[in-house]
Amino acid sequence: MLSNKITPEAVTRYMPQFFIGFFFLAAAYIKATEGLFGVNQSELGWILQGWKASHVMPQFFYAFADNILIPYSTFFAILVIVLQGTAGVLLMGNRYVRFAGILIFFVNLNIFLATNNQLELRVFNGQAMLMGLYFILGPEARGRMWTLVTMILVLLGLTHLYGRLTLFGDHWPSAYFWQRRHFSEYVMSAWPGLKYFTLWLTSGTYGPILWASTWWIKLVLVLGLCTKYRLQFGIAWLLMMMMITMIWLNAFSCEGVFWVLTLFLWVTHEHDLQREKKELSNFA
């Protein structure tokens, strides 16, 4: 959180909070203008029906959706937009941060329950709930509570890797041949030179091995958060996700941005905790 006294450390802590707030404010704006009940008329009731038909929604959620959510879908669409937008504004303005965390946790808990059968949505909403939990805890996010937050992040990382393993076979070089073709034909990187460099780097005999190695590197970095070098592993994981997001920009989009924001938040707080611990050790 940003303290009353403006210091470099306070500004650094505020940065991930600001960008997370901006993300939720932008999400609310897009829902209002292009989705749920916006200009494209992608009404929430239709979305919920689609989740049921595709079995993304778990069966235990059907009765609640049929009796409450779908009949009053316009109201709930407006409610989601208002709550996400309010949380975004509060985080950006550094006001009532714990309340903003409660809003984020509440909204995404319900989305998490409604989409629990879809693994990647489970990870995405799990990250949002983790962010909400962090802002609820505030300065008390330390000790055992911070260890819990870290273990949840590790679990989300492993779940994400499991999904990439089972759905896309990222861990084997065999995935290289169709993924690289898809990357070449459909993916737009943040900068064309970045895409051409990636294609060049992954060409040749060792291209498939290098391509598959990214899954294993992420696995090592995720598990590294369980060690005493967790900050270093977390920074490396953050930088890797930033690079992946820039390379696979239009294919990874908001999922990649969410990973970057989640890890940015974790790294910033972990750095503060380790700095405080070092200062106390030097003082003693």
pLDDT attached to residue 66? 95
User: Which pLDDT band holds residue 284 (cuts at 50, 70, 90)?
Assistant: low
Residue 164: both structure tokens together: 């990439």
**Same domain, yes or no: 71 and 195:** no
**Same domain, yes or no: 85 and 96:** yes
Residue recorded with tokens 């819990």: 148
- pTM of the predicted structure, to 2 decimals: 0.92
pLDDT attached to residue 5? 65
**Same domain, yes or no: 45 and 176:** no
User: Which pLDDT band holds residue 178 (cuts at 50, 70, 90)?
Assistant: very high
pLDDT at 281 over 80: no
Q: Which of 86, 109, 139 is the last residue of a domain?
A: 139
The whole-number average pLDDT for the span 234-245 is: 97
**Same domain, yes or no: 16 and 94:** yes
Q: Are 109 and 145 in contact (CB under 8 A)?
A: no
**Same domain, yes or no: 23 and 87:** yes
Q: Are 74 and 44 in contact (CB under 8 A)?
A: yes
**Same domain, yes or no: 132 and 165:** no
**Per-residue pLDDT tens digits for 105-129:** 999 999 999 999 999 999 999 999 9
What angle (nearest 5°) sits at the alpha carbon of residue 113, between those of residues 84 and 66?
95
Q: Which of 90, 120, 139 is the last residue of a domain?
A: 139
Q: How many domains in the chain?
A: 2
User: Which pLDDT band holds residue 40 (cuts at 50, 70, 90)?
Assistant: low
pLDDT attached to residue 229? 97
User: Residue 64 belongs to what domain range?
Assistant: 1-139
**Same domain, yes or no: 270 and 176:** yes
Q: Which of 139, 164, 185 is the last residue of a domain?
A: 139
The whole-number average pLDDT for the span 173-187 is: 95
**Same domain, yes or no: 184 and 133:** no
Report how far residue 182's alpha carbon sits from residue 273's, in angstroms, rounded to the nearest whole number: 42
Average pLDDT, the chain: 92
**Same domain, yes or no: 76 and 189:** no
* Nearest CA among 175, 253, 171, 182 for reference residue 217: 171
Q: Are 15 and 9 in contact (CB under 8 A)?
A: no
